[in-house]
């Protein structure tokens, strides 16, 4: 649910699309070698792959504008190698790729929006492990490279851990949105640590304002925004290994470290003075409506924590960088846990091995493949060798900088948990907690649901 929101709405939040010069041959965005901001050396390296007459099939979740943007990137692979790449997108990708794999008709490369599905298919022998050269490239070329390698490493059918894919497009969740004009009028400074953020929250309340707008409503998925809060806060209060063990149920939900993270969320959300409408409104306010309080006059709130897609739900005419801005949801300076980032991303894996499939994976992890979508719209990258000056907007460039400065990246935890937990009892439990239930009792109930799955 959350990742589908990210993938469908993020393109609306990052400026306008690039105008494609009609003079360029072969429908390419840019003539190779002409604009020196691009890493054309990584494009030239593709020419060592002679794939004339070969077809590479790619299947993923991207449709509409995202499909168009991706195909404009693919065009360069075809131009350099002579291959014919056939991309197909589907809004039922997760179901169809399993059917295709089991039937022996999987595409050469699949684009997975959730690594958990890759893990399931790898354990059944349907994913081809990647070699150490690809793994080393990710380690060296991506910000927080070890995090990205860990997220793509799973056990095979024999219980051996292998590296199965490269992350291409990333999504960012660790953001706080605000109105620069409101901050300036009140003489508030953007906080750079969690200590400062909490102090600012208290200061706004003391000044008679309301610090936060928070809404958990989302129809049948009500509660998911709170899971993001808890995940972000756990990464800021505990080592990343605690997060990993929690997501895999090696650490139980009612472990005190997890309960503490839930109560950290409560520090913000269960104080009537800190939330627009009071704490009782948190569970009933739709997440799409909750940021609108930033833009009323007078403002109903000063801050809203939400992922990079949320500007799609800002009032019509809101200009990023002028009417709305964001800052990194900061970590505790006192805990010395670096700059953790919570997000999501698309994982490319080989589901039907071929020479062309391996060459395509090499292309997807190269700087040029990232830059070509960065220069369009709706794309963020953790690739350190991709030129950030090619982002199509200042907003995208700033979000990209947060990814590049991350010391730890973790995938949305609830999306990695079994559906009955991550898209079930965790959601409903957070609604109960926001409504006043005891954190320990809520955590115990969620753990009971998980235990019942064994």
| C-alpha span between 368 and 225 (Å, rounded) | 34
Contact status, residue 243 vs residue 410, Cβ threshold 8 Å: yes
Which CATH superfamily hosts domain 175-338+414-451? Periplasmic binding protein-like II (3.40.190.10)
Distance in angstroms (rounded) separating the CA atoms of residues 1 and 228? 12
CA distances from 441 to 189, 237, 251, 303 (A): 37, 21, 16, 29
Each residue's pLDDT, cut to its tens digit, for the chain (454 residues) gives: 455 455 444 433 333 333 333 222 356 889 999 999 999 999 999 999 999 999 999 999 999 999 999 999 999 999 999 999 999 999 999 999 999 999 999 999 999 998 999 999 999 999 999 999 999 999 999 999 999 999 999 999 999 999 999 999 999 999 999 999 999 999 999 999 999 999 999 999 999 999 999 999 999 999 999 999 999 999 999 999 999 999 999 999 999 999 999 999 999 999 999 999 999 999 999 999 999 999 998 999 999 999 999 999 999 999 999 999 999 999 999 999 999 999 999 999 999 999 999 999 999 999 999 999 999 999 999 999 999 999 999 999 999 999 999 999 999 999 999 999 999 999 999 999 999 999 999 999 999 999 999 7
By residue count, the chain amounts to 454
In angstroms, the CA 206 to CA 274 distance is 10
Backbone angles phi, psi at 319, to 5 degrees: -105, 120
Contact present, 59 and 97 (Cβ < 8 Å): yes
**pLDDT attached to residue 23:** 28
Q: What is d(CA 381, CA 65) in angstroms, rounded to the nearest whole number?
A: 18
Q: What is the pLDDT of residue 181?
A: 96
Q: Give me the CATH topology for the region 2-172+342-411.
A: D-Maltodextrin-Binding Protein; domain 2 (3.40.190)
Pair type for strands 153-155 and 161-163? antiparallel
- Could you tell me which of 185, 395, 434, 399 has the C-alpha nearest to residue 302? 185
Q: Is 242 helix (H, G, I), strand (E, B) or coil?
A: helix
The predicted structure's pLDDT at residue 427: 97
Q: What is the C-alpha to C-alpha distance for residues 449 and 203, in angstroms, rounded to an integer?
A: 40
Give the pLDDT of residue 3.
Answer: 54
Alpha-helix runs per DSSP H in 292-425: 355-364, 367-374, 394-404, 419-420
- Specify the pTM: 0.91
Q: Is 66 left (phi over 0), alpha (psi -120 to 50) or beta?
A: alpha
Instruction: State the span(s) of the chain assigned CATH 3.40.190.10.
Output: 2-172+342-411, 175-338+414-451
Q: Which two tokens stand for residue 113?
A: 């929006």
pLDDT of residue 8: 41
CB 384 within 8 A of CB 143: yes
- At 38, list the tokens: 């691009």
pLDDT for 380: 96
pLDDT of amino acid 19: 32
**Sign of the dihedral through C-alpha 281, 220, 94, 8:** negative
Cα separation, 110 vs 87, whole angstroms: 10
């Amino acid at each position: 649910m959350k990742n589908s929101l990210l993938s469908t709405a993020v393109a609306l939040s990052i400026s306008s699309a690039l105008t494609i010069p009609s003079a360029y041959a072969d429908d390419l965005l840019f003539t190779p070698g002409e604009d020196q901001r691009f890493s054309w050396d990584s494009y030239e390296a593709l020419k060592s792959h002679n794939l004339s007459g070969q077809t590479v099939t790619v299947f993923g979740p991207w449709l509409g504008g995202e499909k168009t943007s991706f195909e404009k990137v693919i065009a360069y692979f075809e131009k350099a190698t002579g291959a014919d790449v056939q991309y197909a997108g589907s809004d039922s990708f997760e179901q169809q790729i399993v059917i295709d794999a089991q039937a022996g008709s999987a595409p050469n490369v699949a684009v997975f929006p959730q690594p958990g599905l890759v893990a399931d298919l790898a354990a059944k022998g349907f994913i081809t492990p990647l070699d150490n050269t690809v793994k080393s490239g990710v380690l060296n070329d991506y910000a927080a490279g070890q995090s990205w390698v860990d997220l793509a490493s799973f056990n095979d059918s024999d219980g051996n851990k292998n590296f199965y894919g490269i992350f291409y497009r990333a999504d960012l969740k660790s953001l706080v949105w605000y109105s620069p004009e409101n901050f300036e009028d009140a003489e508030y400074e953007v906080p750079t640590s969690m200590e400062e953020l909490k102090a600012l929250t208290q200061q706004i309340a003391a000044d008679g304002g309301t610090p936060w707008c928070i809404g958990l409503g989302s129809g049948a998925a009500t509660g998911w925004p709170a899971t993001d809060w808890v995940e972000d806060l756990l990464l800021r209060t505990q080592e990343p290994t605690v997060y990993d063990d929690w997501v895999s149920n090696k650490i139980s939900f009612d472990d005190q470290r997890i309960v503490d993270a839930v109560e950290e969320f409560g520090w913000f959300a269960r104080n009537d003075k800190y939330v627009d409408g009071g704490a009782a409104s948190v569970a009933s306010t739709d997440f799409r409506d909750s940021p609108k309080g930033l833009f009323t006059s007078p403002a109903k709130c000063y801050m809203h924590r939400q992922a990079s897609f949320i500007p799609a739900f800002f009032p019509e005419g809101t200009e990023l960088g002028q009417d709305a801005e964001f800052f990194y949801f900061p970590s505790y300076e006192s805990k010395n846990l670096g700059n953790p980032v919570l997000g999501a991303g698309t994982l490319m894996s080989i589901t039907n091995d071929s020479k062309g499939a391996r060459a395509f994976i090499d292309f997807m992890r190269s700087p040029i493949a990232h830059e070509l979508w960065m220069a369009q719209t709706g794309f963020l990258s953790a690739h350190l060798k991709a030129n950030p000056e090619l982002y199509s907007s200042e907003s995208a460039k700033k979000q990209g900088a947060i990814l590049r400065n991350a010391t730890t990246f973790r995938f949305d935890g609830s999306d990695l948990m079994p559906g009955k937990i991550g898209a079930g009892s965790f959601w409903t439990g957070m609604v109960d907690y926001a409504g006043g239930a005891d954190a320990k009792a809520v955590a115990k109930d969620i753990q009971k649901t998980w235990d019942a799955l064994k």
